[in-house]
Each structure stands twice: as C-alpha cells, then as structure tokens.
Chains A and B, each alone.
Chain A
Amino acid sequence: MTVFRKPASVKGALLALLLPAGIGLMALAWLVHGLLLDRMAREFVESRLQDEVAFLEHQIRDSDGKLDTLQTGDYFQDVFHHAFAIHSPSRTIISPKAWEPLLMPLVESDQDGTLRVHGSDIADAPSDILAYRQSFRVGDTPIVVIVSEDLGALKRSQSELHAWTAIVSILLILLLVSVIWLGINLSLRPVVTLKAALRRLQDGEISRIDVEAPEEFRPLVQQLNQLLDSLDQRLERSRDALANLSHSVKTPIAAVRQILEDEGRPLDNDLRHQMAVRLDDIDKQLDAEMRRSRFAGPQVGKSAYPLKQARDLLWMLGRLYPEKSFELSSPLAEESRWPIEEQDLNEILGNLLDNAGKWSSQCVELSLEQGNGVARIVVADDGPGVEKSEVANLGQRGLRLDQQMPGHGLGLAIVREIVTRYGGDISFMTGSSAGLRVVIEF
C-alpha cells in the first residue's frame, strides 16, 4: 500500500506541495510568535517591577527611612498599578491589604531579586504572581521593598492576543490558498487551451495547432505540428505513388489479358516476347514504387548504427564477390548512432557498395566519418572510373517515374533521392587511384 500517491496532474502536484507547506509554515510562525510574546511580556514586567522598586527606594531614602512620611494615598494608587510591600523594623505597609498573606512570606525571606510565587490559595489574592524584592539600609534602618504583579491577568491578556494572531493566521492561510489556486489556474491556462486545440484537431475543425503557447510548451507544439506535417506528406506521397502505379500497371495487364482471351490467336514467339515486355514493365514499376515507399526520410526518433550496418553489408558483398576485398575504415565508436532511418542508410550503403563492387577490380573501401555535426560516407573503388564529362549525369533521373528507363544507374538514382530527402550532398569524383569516389555528407 502506498501512503502517498503521486498526484497525476500538475495542479494536484502544486496543491499537494504548496498547501501543506503554507499551513505548516504559518503554524510555525504562530508558535514562535507565542513564545516570543511570552518572553517579551515577562521581561517587560520584570523591568517595570525593578523600576518601581527603585522609585520606592528613592522615596524612602528621601524621607530618611521614615515610612510614615511616605505618601501612600491617592498618589500611590495612581502611580502604582502593582501591589507592593514596604517593610522596616518599625512598620510594614502592604497594598492592597488582601495580598498580605501572599507578600509577607517574601518579606520575611532574605532573598533579593525576581521571585515567583504560584499555586498559592488565598482568597481575594491571585494565585500566580511575579515579585521583585530589594533590601537596603537607610542610615541604620534595614528596609525591604517588594513590588509584585498578578501574572494571571497578564496571561489572560496574552492568550487573548495569541488567539487573535491565530485568527489572523488562518485568514492569511485562506488568502494564501486562494492566491495559490489562482496562480496555478492562471499559469496552467495555456494547457487548457492546448487541450481544447487538440480536441478540435481530433474533430477535424483545425489542421494545425495554432496556440500562443508559453515558452515551456513551444517545443511540444512545434514537434506536434512537424509530426502532422510529415503525416500529411506521407499520405500525399503514398496516394501519388499508388495512383502512378495503378496507372502504369493496369495498361500492361489489360494488354496481356487481351492476348490471353483471344483463343483464335496462336501464341507465336513475337507475341510471347511482347507479353514478357509488358510483364517486365509491371515488375519495374512495382520495384521502383516499393523502393520509394521504403524511404522513410528524416524522422523523429529514428536512428541507425552505421558501423554495424556497414559491417554486415561489407561482409555480404565480400561473400558475393569473393575475389574482391571490401574494406572499412572509420574512427567511429561501435555504438555511435546517426539520425538516419535504418533502411534508408542500408539503401544508401548497399547501392553504393554494390555498384563499387561491380566495377572495382580488386578493392572497395568504405569510410564513415563524423565531425562538426556532419556525417560523411565515402565509397571508393579501384575500377575504371567514370569519364569527367559523364560525372554530372551520374544518378540523375530526369524522367518521370512511369517512364523510368531500367538498368544502369538506378541504384545511384535511389541514393541521390534519399540523400536529397535528408538535405545532404552527394558528389562524385575520380579517386586517387583511378576508380570512382562517391562522397555523401549529411
């Protein structure tokens, strides 16, 4: 069982990541706020208690330790928001009176500084206080001053503040969620239009995707459109080819049938020959179309291992022409790939090598190279070569397909056609030791 299933949509993934993160961070902020608030309040209260003790001490010293002369009336009520106790051997003042049981033990203890009392159970007095005690002498009179604050009240106002913070936090989270939601929806809007475009494409309303896609999706749209283009081209090509073929095959078939149906006519040699010519025509047309349909042309996701294929073909031709030597020279690694469809490469190499094998006297050399983004195929033989004036005519197919003359040069014409389809160059030259040298560059 999987605890966490990966969300299937981008929207889901973003939400699944951003929402818990937002909530978690907000909760952390709230907790830290609580801690800081607590600490700050305590420090503030402590320093105020200290100030007030210092103030009282100052008053007492001014009055030379005579507590009676201290003004404890309205003035104290106004200035002091805190309970206090002043103790000298002669007199003890505690205000308010109800705190007396709480403060007396502190007066009698001899520990100065910040003191904390909690959990006391005295009527009219708080259960939890913070006090500051200071003892000093005025002349010979020892005096103790304590100022204290009701922590319960402080805590109550503190937690009220904290609660408000929580409410604000939750509101902020809701705001955050809606902003995230809005952001996701806005940034994914192109996907929705893309989806709609795809649907319209499927329904045949449009023939290409024409969407202002954001940068991230542009290659996708381009690739799709390219695929559509090549699909269209292929359909058109195969229709043309079939139409061509049908046109050029039906006539010979009709002629042969005509002869066969005519029972009165004897099958003399001339007639046999004519029938054979017609059948040959059909075969040639079929052959040419088959080859054409086999060329894939440049395609996405198709590549070939040139070395492996070259090896196989060289080996095969070595078997077919046992008295000749077929050699390979290549700096390529065994696993290197070329972005050419496998059969297309086979057709190029096979036709070139077969041609060279036919004409060579001893040796055919194939070299495969690659550099600067160019793949180079060189096939050289040591045969009689080609006259300079005829080089330009090699592999030319100036005729329409259904009038194509058979025989010599068909292989080179096929090679030229494939190379052109890949946007490559083919050139013929006289080799270093006579012979013909064919160079193909992609």
Chain B
Amino acid sequence: MRLLLVEDDRLLADGLSGQLEKAGFSVDTTYTAREALILGEQEDYRVAVLDLGLPDGNGLDVLRKWRISHVSYPVLILTARGDWQDKVNGLKAGADDYLAKPFQTEELIARLNAIVRRSEGRVHSTVTAGRFELDENRQSLKLNDGTEHSLTGTEFRLLRCLMSRPGHVFSKEQLMEQLYNLNESPSDNVIEAYIRRLRKLVGNDTISTRRGQGYLFNDGV
C-alpha cells in the first residue's frame, strides 16, 4: 500500500517511515509543501499523512490544492494545536481524519487502516439537481456559485431523498423514514422544522409544499 508521508521534522519522519514500512506500507517521505504538492498529484497513493506546519507553506493549502485537482485518496492530518476549530478547518479542507501530536504509532496505523477501509469502493458520487450538487462523501451541498454548506445527518438524507427525484412529491411518511431521532415517535413537526432549515439553504421556492400530500424539489428554480 503506497503511502505519502509529509513531515518536516526529519527525526520524526524517518522514525515514522520506518515503523510504517514495518506495518506494511510502502512510504514516500517528503519534507516540504512544494514537493508534497507535486508528488501528491503525480503519484497514485493509497493514503497520505500530512503535517500542517510545513516550513514552506501551510499543509491545509496543500490539501486544498490536492482536492481541487481531484486527488481522491484519504488524507490524515497531523496537527500540534488540536483545538476544535483547527480540526473543523482540516476536515473542511478535505481531510478524512486528524491526529494530534504527539501520538502513538499504533494509533496512527489503526486510523490509517480505518480511513483506507472507509474509502474502499468509494467513488466520487454526487446528486445534482438544478443549481445544486450534493456531495455524498463530504455530506455537503454545493451551490453553482461555488459556496459549500455542510449538512447534518438528517438534513443530508432528506435532501438526498428529495433531490434524487426532482419534481416528485414525497409524503411526510416517506420523509420520516430518513429521520434518525432519539424520540421513538417523531412528530410531523420535526419534518417541518427540517424542511424550514433546508429552505434556508436552498431557497423557499426550491422545496415546495403540496397541501395534504407532501414536499417536492423544484430543480427548475
């Protein structure tokens, strides 16, 4: 399994690469952002480990550029800061997992195996309807003006359901099946609340109500 390791501390990089090799990865190591950018785009890796603080650039920028040029293998980021905003930013930039330094090598290997397994059989799958594109891997909604909204679980499932057949009326009962809830018997109000929130994202006219029947997604708006 080919692995790209981007880490500027040579002592750490050399130690890590040795242990990763032992765990069955074939490791390419680079110490700079510039080289990481080229290697990451040219070579076909199975997974990458990316340090965020590099001497010649920010790891997040490298990651964003990779994702823009459709580098799709999973990436685990290493960060020394580890506050929540940092983690959110990392995942938003396209990372699949993060690990705060210092870490145990076993933990790193376990996480790498997990994200590799998760990405297996994963294809770049999107649902497109009108101006909207739903990214299934990232669980996010892209608008045609380039903005991206992250969605919570049920929001995503509801929107995927509605967008899968634009113009088709889905009854509240059908939509209710998409709902995960701690309440055993979710009420109709819950669906209405979700629809209200989705309308804030996609616009009021995009999801219309058919009285007594249900909701439908207008892809023409």
Residues of A within 8 A of B (CB): 279, 283, 287, 294, 311-316, 318-320, 322, 325-329, 331, 334, 342-343, 346-347, 349-350, 362-363, 365, 380, 382, 431-433, 435
Contact = CB atoms under 8 A, between A and B. Distances in A.
A433 B184 contact: yes
B166 to A, nearest CB: 24
Contact of A325 (B91, B102, B154): B154
B180 A318 contact: no
Interface string B181-221: 11110000010010000001000000000000000000000
B34 interface: no
A352 to B, nearest CB: 11
Interface in B71-92: 82-85, 87-88, 91-92
B152 interface: yes
Nearest to A346: B84
B57 interface: no
A3 to B, nearest CB: 46
Contacts, number: 76
Given A316-B150, A327-B154, A431-B182, 20 more contacts: A279-B102, A287-B82, A311-B150, A314-B153, A315-B140, A315-B150, A316-B91, A318-B139, A318-B152, A319-B91, A319-B96, A319-B138, A325-B180, A328-B152, A334-B200, A343-B84, A343-B85, A346-B85, A432-B182, A432-B183
A346 B140 contact: no
A326 B182 contact: no
Contact of B152 (A314, A343, A432): A314
Closest 7 CB pairs of A and B: A315-B150, A350-B84, A325-B153, A325-B180, A346-B84, A312-B88, A314-B152
A382 B190 CA distance: 19
Contacts of A435: 182
Contacts of A331: 193
A365 B182 contact: yes
A316 B91 CA distance: 7
B183 to A, nearest CB: 7
Given A327-B181, A329-B193, A311 B102 contact: no
Nearest to A310: B152
B84 A313 contact: yes
B97 interface: yes
B10 interface: no
Nearest to B154: A327
Most buried by A among B181, B183, B200: B181
Contact of A346 (B83, B92, B97, B200): B83
Contact of A343 (B82, B83, B190): B83
Contacts of B180: 325, 327, 362-363
B168 interface: no
